[in-house]
Amino acid sequence: MKSVLFVDDEQSIRNAIERMYLERDDIRCLFAASGLEGLDILKREDVWVIVSDYMMPGMRGIEFLSKAKGIRPDTLRIMMTAFADLSIAIDAINKSEAYRFVTKPWINKELMDIVDEALMRYQLIKSLESNDETVYLSLAQTVELKDPYTKGHCDRVAKYAVKLAKAAGLNDAMIADIKHGSWLHDCGKIGVPETVLNSTGNLSVDDFETIMQHPRWGAEVARQARMSETVINIILYHHERFDGNGYPSGLAAGNIPIEARIVAIADVFDALYSDRPYRQAYDFDRTIEILTEMTEAHFDPQLMELFRYIAEEVRANG
């Protein structure tokens, strides 16, 4: 069960947080009045996220979080600090590698959102660390569930990308990573609200920015879970464009790792060739026509030449 440890020397703060979480029966809240007590809890409980006060008598928040890292390296650490202490706290927070900080007095919804995001991140890291294909695939399917129109998308992208990787002569280890990377390429969308993902109208600038964050967010988590460089590259660079106008890094041509160039083609092919919330699937000929028009700006032309044969095969055999 999702569990969060709150560490604060003030009883009134612990009470306020407890009240705030009364309605959330999906989260188990643990409380400690000092760093020492907090470390004790960490030794025996499976804690996903820690929220610690900065200024505490005895063991300070920074020391506590550093020691907490030694006990549970994957647990996400959030620092709470009074606004007046913020400037001295920032440096210390960076040193303790806290994931986020929250200023006191906090706004309930903001604190809960930050904790929820951290819980989600923890769950994702654990899944990625499992080294288990079935876990990867079910994770991809969880992302797809957020947007019913993408059902089966990740698996199809993997199928097309693997074919293309083979045609390009990549080795078996790379091909296995490309399969996993294709499944997981949109895992960063776990952090994007469904209302934004399923929007059929024009997105606000903020919403658009949220969506643009998914490659970075996903890659950061994959890195934390120590996934292979190939998988991380796919998650991070699958929205780069061959002409350098993609995101998040604006890499161009050969600077985009080949694994990401491969998945980019497979991803767009499947998006065009299947139904979307805002339009029906294109037929095969129109799909290829659009891909061809896009090639100069978006895709590696050599890979695209190879992909034509693969697309024909997909049309013939599904």
Active site positions, annotated: 189
**Nearest distance in Å: CB 309, Fe ion:** 25
- 186 is a contact residue toward Fe ion (CB under 5 A): yes
C-beta of 51 vs 140, nearer to Fe ion? 140
- 240 is a contact residue toward Fe ion (CB under 5 A): no
- 300 is a contact residue toward Fe ion (CB under 5 A): no
- From the list 75-83, 137-145, 184-192, 241-249, the region that binds Fe ion by CB under 5 A is 184-192
**Nearest distance in Å: CB 211, Fe ion:** 8
C-beta of 89 vs 143, nearer to Fe ion? 143
- From the list 42-50, 178-186, 216-224, 303-311, the region that binds Fe ion by CB under 5 A is 178-186
Integer angstrom CA distances of residue 74 from 69, 224, 226: 8, 8, 11
The residue type of 48 is W
39 CB-side CA count, 13 A: 16
Residue least distant from Fe ion (Cβ):
186
C-beta of 50 vs 139, nearer to Fe ion? 139
Tokens of 283: 């037929």
- From the list 116-124, 180-188, 225-233, 246-254, the region that binds Fe ion by CB under 5 A is 180-188
Integer angstrom CA distances of residue 123 from 130, 138, 215, 222: 11, 13, 18, 12
Contact of 176 with 199, CB cutoff 8 Å:
no
Contact of 14 with 8, CB cutoff 8 Å:
yes
C-beta of 9 vs 186, nearer to Fe ion? 186
177 CB-side CA count, 13 A: 19
**Nearest distance in Å: CB 129, Fe ion:** 22
Tokens of 8: 């604060």
Task: Give the Cβ contact number of residue 175 at 10 Å.
Answer: 18
What residues make contact with Fe ion under the rule CB under 5 A?
186
